[in-house]
Amino acid sequence: MFTEARFTDLVLPMRAGGPLIRVERGWVAPPGPVALLHPFDEQAAFYRHGWNSWSPSGWRRLTDAPLRIGGDPARLLTADDAANDTPASHSGSAVGALEAPDGRVLLLGALGLGTPRVAADPHVLRGTTEDVGDGWFVAFGDEEEVFDAYAAQVADRLGGRDRRAGAVWSSWYSFYEDVDEALIARTVEDLRGHPFDVVQLDDGWEVAVGDWIANERFPSGMTATARRIADAGFRPGLWLAPLIALPHSAVAREHPDWLVQDDDGRPAVTGTNWGAGYHALDTTRAEVLEHLDEVLRRAVDSGFTYLKLDFLNAGAVHGHRARDLPRERVYRDAVQHVRRTVGDDVYLLGCGAPILPSVGVFDGVRVGPDTAAFWDNAERPDDPSGSGARNAIAASIERAWQRPWFELDPDAVYFRRRRSLLDEPQRQLVQDAATVLRFKQTSDPMAWLDAQERAALDEWLAADETVRRTGRGTWRIDGRDVDFGPAL
Ligand code: 9PG
C-alpha cells in the first residue's frame, strides 16, 4: 500500500506492506518490501551495514563508490553476504540510513530475520528481504537517537544479553597458529597477577578445522590447558569454528552428506581460509546438531567457560540444505541450540557472525575484521575487510550503537612496540577504540613487553573510563577528545 512516514518537519511518501504503527521515536512497518521517497540528493551520505562481523560498515556519499569488498570474490564470500552483493549500487544488510543536509538522519532498519537488505539511490531508500521478514523500523532525527531507537526496537524483539567478559588475553595476535601446550603454559604463568579475567586459546590447538580434538602439540589434552589457565586465576577460553569443516577433516570425509551443497549437489565451498575452501555443516540435520552437542559439551567439560565461536556466517550461507528453510532462521535455530547445550553461564563470543540473527543469543560479538600490528592492508586497497588496525577500528566504531544487543569486540589492542609496525598515534587509536566499545583485549605476551608497557597495560585493564560520544566518529574519554577520523 502507499502511505506516508510523517516526522515533525518531513513527510515521506512510502510504500509498505500495510499501515504504519507509531512507536517510540519512529514508525514500524509490517513485513514486506518497503520504499521511502526521500528529498535528499546524491550528495547525501549513506550508512551501509555489513552482514557479518568482518563485513564493512560505514558512511559513504551516494556519489562515492559503494562500500563493499571488491577485488577477490573469495574474500567477498568469506567476509560478507556474497549472494546479495551489489557492485554498482549502495546497499547493506539489516539497516541503512541517509544523512539529510542539516545532519539529521533517516534510518530504515529490519526488526528480525529474513536476510533483510537496505539500499539507497538519490531518490529512494529501500528495504527488501530474501525470505519473509519481521517488519521495519523507520525514524528521522538526531543520528545517535535514531540508531539508539532502532537498537532498542530490535533488543525488545530479539532480546539483549548483559554478561561482561571482562579483560581478555587471546593467543591469536601474537602466536597465531603456532601454539603448543608448553608455550601456553609459560605465557599463562607470565600473566599471573595481571588484571585479566579471561585467557582464551585461539586457533591452532585442534586436529583440523572440523575435528575439534586436541592435536599432538597438546599431548596432555585440553582439560590440562584449561586447568593451567584456571589455576593461574583466569577463566579458560577456547576458539572453535563448529559450523565449518576443511575438506581434509575427518568430519568432511566421513560425512559429506552433513555439508551444505552447491547447485550441482556437491559440498559447497562456503568461504576460504587456511589456504583452502571450507565447507559448512548443514544444521537442519539432526545428526549435525548431535555432533555440535558433542563438540560443545566436550569443550565445556574440559573446563572452558568462554567460547569464541568463529566462522559462524557459514551457518547462514546461501546453499542447499536437507530442509529448505530461510537461511537466517537456520542460523538462529542452530545458535539457539548451541546456547541451550552450553547453558546460560558460558560466555559465547560470536565471530564472523551474522549480526542481526545473533542478537539475544551471544554475549559478545566481534564487530569488525581482524586487526593486525600494522595500520593498512595496502596490498588489497579495495578490501575494507582485510586485516589491519585501520579496518578493524573503522568497522567497529561504526557499530558502537549496537551495545544494547551484546558486548562489542573490536579485536585486540597492542601495547608492544616490538614486533609491531603501528606508530604511536595509530597504536593509541586502537586502544581508544577498545575503550570506547568497552571490550579490552590483547594478545601481547608479557615477555614481549618492557616494564613501562606492562604498567601501561595493567593500568588500562583496571581503568573504568568515562566515555561519551560527541559526534560521528568522535568521542570523549575521561575529558580527552578522540577522533577516529583517520581510520574511517
Ligand atoms: C583464527 C582466526 C582468529 C581471528 C578470526 C578469524 O575474512 N576472512 O577471510 C577471515 C579469515 C580469518 C579470520 C577472519 C576473517 O580470522 O577473526 O580472530 O580467531 O580466525 O583462524
Alpha carbons within 13 angstroms on the beta-carbon side of residue 464 total 1
Give the three-class secondary structure for 228: helix
d(CA 281, CA 261): 9
Overall domain count for the chain: 2
- Residue 162 predicted with pLDDT over 90: no
Looking at the structure, do residues 199 and 102 belong to the same domain, yes or no?
A: no
Q: Is ligand 1 within 6 A of the CB of residue 273?
A: yes
- Look at ligand 1, atom 13, and give the residue with the nearest C-alpha: 370
Model ipTM value: 0.99
180 located within any domain:
yes
Residues 99 and 189 in one domain: no
For the Cβ of 78 lying below 6 angstroms from any atom of ligand 1, the answer is yes
Instruction: Tell whether 43 and 181 lie within a shared domain.
Output: no
Q: How many CB atoms lie within 10 A of CB 68?
A: 23
CA–centroid distance, residue 306 to ligand 1 (Å): 18
Judge whether 72 lies within some domain: yes
Together in a domain, 152 and 206: no
Q: What is the DSSP letter of 371?
A: -
CATH number at residue 253: 3.20.20.70
Look at residue 377 and tell me if it is in a domain: no
Task: Say yes or no: 149 and 185 in one domain.
Answer: no
**Is there a single domain that holds both residue 150 and residue 77?**
yes
305 within a domain of the structure (yes/no): yes
Do 342 and 212 lie in one domain? The reply is yes
178 shares its domain with 326: yes
Nearest residue by C-alpha to atom 4 in ligand 1: 370
Determine the structural domain holding residue 196 and report its residue range. Answer: 174-362
Question: Which residues make beta-bridge pairs with 244?
Answer: 280
Q: Do 134 and 31 fall within a single domain?
A: yes
Residue 347 gets the label, from left (phi > 0), alpha (psi -120 to 50) or beta, of: beta
| Domain end position, chosen among 362, 395, 414 | 362
409 lines ligand 1 (CB under 6 A): no
pLDDT of residue 379: 83
Provide the strand spans (E) within 284-358. Answer: 306-309, 347-350
Mean pLDDT of the chain: 97
173 lines ligand 1 (CB under 6 A): no
Share of the chain above pLDDT 90, in %: 98
Radius of gyration of the chain (CA): 22
CA distances from 172 to 199, 204, 242 (A): 11, 9, 18
**Domain assignment of residue 285, yes or no:** yes
CA 227 – ligand 1 centroid, Å: 26
Cα of 243 to ligand 1 centre, how many Å? Answer: 14
Q: What is the pLDDT of residue 321?
A: 98
Residues annotated catalytic, as ranges: 310, 370
Round to whole Å and give the CA distance between 26 and 154.
13
Q: Hey, what's the cell of 231?
A: 589455576
Residues in the chain: 488
- How many angstroms does the Cα of residue 370 sit away from the middle of ligand 1? 6
Per-residue model confidence as pLDDT tens digits over 43-100: 999 999 999 999 999 999 999 999 999 989 999 999 999 999 999 999 999 999 999 9
Ligand 1, atom 14: closest residue by C-alpha = 370
Cα separations in angstroms, 174 against 35, 219, 357, 438: 47, 22, 31, 22
Question: Are residues 142 and 231 located together in one domain of the fold?
Answer: no
Distance CA 220, CA 208 (A): 17
Q: How confident is the model at residue 416 (pLDDT cuts 50, 70, 90)?
A: very high
> Is there a single domain that holds both residue 202 and residue 328?
yes
List alpha helices for 205-280, DSSP H.
Answer: 222-231, 250-254
Instruction: Judge whether 381 lies within some domain.
Output: no
Please name the residue ranges forming H helices in 177-266. Answer: 181-191, 222-231, 250-254
Q: Considering the domain boundaries, does residue 463 fall inside one?
A: no
Are 222 and 97 part of one and the same domain?
A: no
